[in-house]
């Protein structure tokens, strides 16, 4: 299956006419017919009822339309993303919150090097408020933080959920734990 087959199919879904689609795509009517015939063979189902009045989609054609649109959209997005990565030649400034630099960051930076082979990556460790400030000022490109302060000009994507475990030298079981005897950090 080729993308021009999908594009041709979607144009006929809109125009309902093989000749009109041929004109719009700048190809011959026989090319349009061949593309649709090849697509129908690949799918194993007739997609259009052809007649003097034009082309009417079959039930299979109507059902296939959403998949065809998704395929073109996925292809367009993939092409855009890959081109963007291939063109990126610069320094990517990445920061991670203290505590993440040894656990999460090494593997992540290694992946960035594989995905962005023409770039250099500057990595630093800091605390959430400073990193959010640096992002908003343009001094950082990416920050990995625990609990960010949300600003409208910054995009946020959750990466993971971390499990916390209570540790104590005095309480042997959770029911014996007195919350007043624990230190609670005041930073994020």
CATH number, domain 3-86:
1.10.10.10
**Which alpha helices (DSSP H) does the chain contain, by range?**
3-15, 18-25, 29-43, 59-87, 105-115, 128-137
From first CA to last CA, the distance across the chain in angstroms is 52
Domain boundaries, the chain: 3-86, 91-161
**Maximum C-alpha span of the chain:** 87
Residue 120's pLDDT band (cuts 50, 70, 90): confident
pLDDT given for residue 126 in this prediction = 80
d(CA 181, CA 68): 61
Q: In whole angstroms, what is the distance from residue 101 CA to residue 182 CA? A: 26
Over residues 9-52, the pLDDT tens digits come to 999 999 999 999 999 999 999 999 999 999 999 999 999 999 88
At 50, which helix (H) or strand (E)? strand 48-51
Provide the pLDDT for residue 11: 93
Fold of the 91-161 domain? D-Maltodextrin-Binding Protein; domain 2 (3.40.190)
pLDDT at 174: 64
């Amino acid at each position: 299956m080729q993308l021009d087959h999908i594009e041709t199919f979607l144009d006929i879904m809109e125009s309902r006419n093989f000749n009109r689609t041929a004109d719009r795509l700048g190809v011959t009517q026989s090319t349009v017919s061949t593309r649709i015939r090849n697509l129908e063979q690949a799918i194993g189902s007739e997609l259009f009822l052809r007649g003097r009045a034009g082309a009417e989609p079959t039930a299979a054609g109507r059902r296939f339309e959403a998949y065809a649109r998704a395929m073109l959209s996925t292809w367009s997005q993939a092409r855009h993303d890959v081109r963007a990565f291939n063109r990126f030649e610069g320094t990517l400034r990445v920061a991670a919150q203290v505590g993440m630099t040894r656990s999460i960051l090494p593997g992540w930076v290694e992946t960035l090097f594989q995905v962005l082979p023409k770039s250099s990556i500057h990595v630093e460790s800091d605390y959430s408020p400073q990193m959010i400030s640096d992002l908003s000022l343009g001094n950082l490109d990416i920050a990995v933080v625990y609990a960010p302060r949300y600003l409208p000009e910054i995009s946020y994507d959750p990466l993971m959920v971390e499990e916390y475990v209570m540790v104590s030298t005095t309480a042997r079981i959770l029911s014996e734990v007195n919350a007043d005897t624990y230190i609670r950090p005041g930073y994020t």
